Structure 1
Amino acid sequence: MSSTSDDRSTAPTGPSAVDLSAVRDAHGLGEALTDQRLRAGLSVRDVSKRCGIPVSTLGGYFSGRHLPLATRPDVLRDLLSALRVAPADQAPWQTTLRRQTTSRDGSGQRALSPYPGLAAFDESSAAVFHGRSDLVAQLGAVVGPGGPDDSRIVVVTGASGSGKSSLIRAGLIPQLEELWTHGTSPATGAESLDVLVDWIAQAHGHARVVVLGLRADYCGEASEVAALLPALRDHQVVVGPMTPEDLAEAVALPAADLGTSVGPGLVDILVRDCLASSQAGLTSALPHLSHCLATMWTRTTGDGLTLATYLEVGGIAGAIARTVEEAFTTLDDDDAERARHLLLRLVSVEEGVRPSAATQALADLSDDDRRLVNHFAERRLLTVDTSTVRLSHGVLIESWPRLRQWIDDGQTLLLQRRSISRDARVWESSNREEDLLLRGSRLDAVREWSPEARLALVLRERAFVDAGAALSDRVARARRRQQRRIHLLLVATSAISVIALAASAGYVNANHTLTQERDQAQSRQVAVTARTIDQTNPSVAHQLAVAASTIAPIVEARSALRTPPPRHPSPGSPAPSGTAWSQSVRPDT
């Protein structure tokens, strides 16, 4: 294993100026820790490097969602040292923490629960993690020290809700003297795995071990990934159902660690109902059991955990549905609609695959969405870290009928939104290239969504869709402009053609008129000649009259034809050589 550098040796900067007397609950203590962090000028990641506590766990401490256990004062001590609180000034902080884990007010009602509910156990709650001692030992042996070149991947497999994450974070990690936490930004499973494989490959002279939690129904797909085959074959730990004895420890011992009793016979009833729920078809009843115990804890008084409280919260089967339904029905209509889209964003839907929990980046959420995230996170239905939010457990999907109905009713919309989400991430990471925007029928389908349906999109996805729509509109406008130009060009071409045809027709008409006028002039001249010689040479006059009428049948030519031709040539008037005499004339037209 490798560890990051630790600068805990940095000297504290002096006494804390934070007023702890005003702290009344877990959120107040979280605010006090945040105030101290800001006074020290540290980011959450800075604090994580200084004390070795993961960023996600610190996020819970600073928000007040959970706090270090009073039974593990060393955790708070290390945190305060990282926040530059001098050892001499840490006692009030320890006292305040014990006060929060003992009583929230005079009623003795417990403020912090040793049961994480739908969330997983982590390093901060390792002291109350019970019922998995044999499996913790098995995993520790698989991960345990090897040779300097023994870098490897270890896979922890099990059904959804079987306790994989708790086993790794609360069972395995506290065993390790040094821990290197490899954090990655939200990415696809393949991208994250590539990062981890590269990290293992960079080991020089010391072993690096990556422990992955893998849901059992994804083992088939995982077996197709070359990097995971050695782990699935040689370094796999399977998390199976807990035995009745293990369940009894998980129920009774966390309460006993904090000095709270469990009523007579209640442990047996909880174990019996948990096993019955598993046999009735729940993927795993452990999250239901943990949530039921956490809900009971918030209602516990001096009598400890009792059967009456168990029945009041709805038992193992009904506790989750009752809690989330109560949280939802307190919202007004507008927030209820926003919450529906927000919660559906936290569900991953794929064709032919059972819906599962998904992670959402906080940076993509609106202020209204973040307010709703806080609403559900306060009830431990959502888990929030410094940059993401997710369902506290996937069993929410199958346990809350309303959410299940939303998924069934909106299957097509959810599939479209998931596709848009993937495309929007690629578009964002590629400097928003226009070639990656939605087009055609896919864009048309999204543009037909109702305004309520568009609430399903987060800020980046809305920007992605809006950019695609804007590009489509620009292309459409350009196409219309081009079509108008083509239309105007066709109109202009047609007009030019008409003008050309008209000019050609005018030319033809003018030419025809000139020809007609010339023929008429010639015909008139011949007709005048015929009339002139009509008395002296009637035969030739008649022939000229016929010729004039042939050239152009004008009035003068027709008038010359009225004089009948002689039957015989006049004496002394020989017929012109080569002329054929004829009495037929062209009909008068």
Structure 2
Amino acid sequence: MSRDALIVGINSYQYLNPLTAPAKDGEAIAQRLGQTGEFKIWRIPEHLDRTQGNRPTVSSKQPVSQQQLKQALKRLFLPESNQAPETALFYFSGHGIRDDEGFDQGYLATSDTDPKHPSTGISLRWLQWLLSESQVKQQIIWLDCCHSGSLIVNVGAANPGNSDSRDRCFIASSRDFETSWEDLNSEYSVLTKALLDGLEPSRLPGRWINNLDLVAYVNQALQGELQTPVCTNFGEAIKLTRPWQAEAKEKLKKPVDNGICPYKGLEFFDCNGEDPKYFFGREKLIGQLLDQVRTGNFMALVGASGNGKSSVLRAGLIHRLSQGRRIAGSDRWQILITRPDVHPMQNLAAAFVPEGGSQLDRAEALGRAAGLLKEGAAGLQRLVQASRAERIILVIDQFEEVFTRCNNAEEREQFFNCLMGALQETGEKLCLIIAMRADFVGKCLEQDYGGLAQRVQDHMVSVLPLNSEELKEAICKPAEQANLMVEAALVTEILDDIQGAPGSLPLLQYTLKELWQRRQGSTLMLATYQELGGINGTLDQRATEIYDSCDGDQQRTVRHIFQQLTQLGEGTEDTRRRVFLDNLVSEPLHPAARVRAVIETLSSQENRLLVTSEVIGKGENKERRAIVDVAHEALIRHWRLLRRWIEDNRDLLRQQRRIEASAVSWQGQNRAKGYLLQGFLLKEALRFQKQQSEILPLSDVACSFLRKSVRQRNLGWLKIASLLLLLPPIVDYSLHQWKIDQLYSKLNGAERNDPRGSVNSLTKDCGKRRGALTSYLIERATGEYCRSLANERFTPEANLDSVNLYRANLSFATLDRANLSFATLDRANLSFATLDSANLYSATLDRANLYSANLDRATLDSANLYRATLDSATLDSANLYSANLYSANLYSANLYSANLYRANLDSANLYRANLYSAIFLATDLRTTQKLTTNQLEGKNPPLLCNSPLPADIKIDQDRDCDQLADILHQRYPARFNSLEAAEEYINEKRQITWE
């Protein structure tokens, strides 16, 4: 059986950004197919590794031209000889280019491909033609690049030739509009990692793994991923990799327990006298780190949370350096370890203060070190040069704390400049090693930071999850060191439960420590593991404890995050779903700050329920985005609290996912109008958004998608408004003889001829029903036709959701209780308008004129009032939560009891405004203009949220609760919007009365 495979992995590009993963991707696939699949391998580009006896490998540096790849593909599928292979496989990893204007649509990019001229790449339509001409019976195409789904547009195109005598397998890493990703939590690209795992022979012992098995595995493995694979099989099954025979199991000797626990639970292995004895599974990585230290003076150790960065750094690298066996003389080097924490400069100074001595001596030494560091890089250079050691290894663990804990941007910048400047001036004497979470690499690259960004890019080493052999070492070898025995069946069970789970090491150590505490004699037993509920039971208990420790708002956000990280099964079990971090933000219910804070807590070293990492797009701009994932899939299946949330909301979650998926497609298609929702789907989506906003809020992206859909729908109604102008003047008929719906139906379907009139000019002659017709039409029209509506009286509770009233004249208009949520009122004239109790949630009022408007009890939650004029307006008890009032003119405005919590009042004019009982954050008033002292310190100052009530409230045990609640509600209606809220406050205090 002749089987040929062409393996292509292109890192080097002339006009596109270089890549790092494709060469590794290609070589791993080549080895897997060559060793276990009986394939003859051709590599492009190929390099002979002299250190391995001239063994061929996929080159990471050599370029590949369009002509070179084209000829290789012809040789594979259209060989000149008559002896064509029975099976031909083409694998490609590199850049993919999409051409929206051309006929070919998708191209594989070679090193000389110019994105401005996509035809300089390999056309996917040409590849389809090649396959249709080929006589090879079994054809396999695997493409790991952006837009690779273009190959599989439809069944006919995906199966060129449509011959029953041919068997075909197509696997593309992403849909035609999607980006493919390199994953910093893996050595390989996202699709290639799934291919390698799916081709692992031990996965299906006793038989061949074929293309049907592989496609099923890839589809399952990449469910909920950041890209959607496109997989298609035709014809009969194609054998890919052969069975794998397990080695005979070694018999374990029965040791004598020495009473020492060799597992660390949720703590890391440290560089002390004991921990390194029990640290196993990282030999290959430690060797790589030692080589980096030997040859350079900077290294960035990067990995997902829970992958063991601190342990490999401390019990691995630092311990080996202190031994001096792998690098001659390293045992005489000075090794300093610190963490940035809140004050990185202060902690850096403390790292240079030796342990021991009196407290006074240490305080004096710390003062001198801190004084030197005030000089910046020069001071750090002097500290380094003063050391008698040949070399100083400065290790900064948990480097991401510079961004998460240090809130002083000036100190952060000083810290970076100090480190990078000294590193440049001290030569090889100083070696700087930083360890950080992968999702913070992008933060380091946002700015130059004194050269840090470039060094991180050039000297980054990834800490990948342990493979099965390394996991076995991490379980069994510590036990051997402590004279313990681990049942073979227990090892197998744990490996099955934990294999492939990112960030699982702390959970593994936590479970092993529990097993050690319940060991029988000197043996860790499978039966005990099953009694604990395995990894699953241990995790369920731990997750519930962490959830219970959160406050109410945090618990709601925890619930929101985990529901979004669950991929709902369709006749199968629910699984994990990786999500972009910014897609978890849903203002105002789950604001960005709280989402990030909760993720920090759940992924912290103490908790480890979530894993955060980063992916890099294979596209031209190499987009970097943070992602969030569950630490272990057992959370999805066995955390009872999460199961209850999912089951209670399963149908609603499916509806939410459909809306979110539509939003992602719209975003992936450059926000094309054709991908917006219409008709019934839009109506249902808007209903879902309104009804489920408190429990299952849509992401900010999906909310934007719906707003655009509504506006697109309203544009369609412009045809109706404009066509009305084509009718002859209504003179002989009174409007009461017309029902508005009949008028609309007569116009429906007519062609548009827009004379750019206005609703006002149309309805001038319409008699008594003018206001009703205007109210009807304005729901369907946009601002160009609604300019002149002065003095208009709309029907109460008129629904004007998302209407476009840009520059409309609504002076003196009556809009009591009107629904203007998401309305566009930019530059509109609303002077003297009555908007009593109107709903303006998320409305845009940029530079709108609201002079003397009545907004009594109006809802302006999240509204944009940028530079709006609210001079002398009435905003009594209005809700302005999170509203944007940047530079707004609120001169003499009545803000009695208004809710301005988290409103943006930067540069706003509040001179002479009535702030009596208004609610603010203390920071809200810092940058307002012309805010007089008596407004803040007078008899009736504003209320600052979470601050005590004014001084006229005193403690008295005898005051009647109901009476006091009524007084609080009447005097502070915005803070105590109901008697129940006031009573709840009193019950907490139990001592508050009026003077």
TM-score by length of 2: 0.27
TM-score by length of 1: 0.43
User: Which structure ranks higher in relative contact order (CA pairs < 8 Å, sequence separation ≥ 6)?
Assistant: 1
Structure with greater strand percent: 2
Larger Rg computed on CA atoms: 1
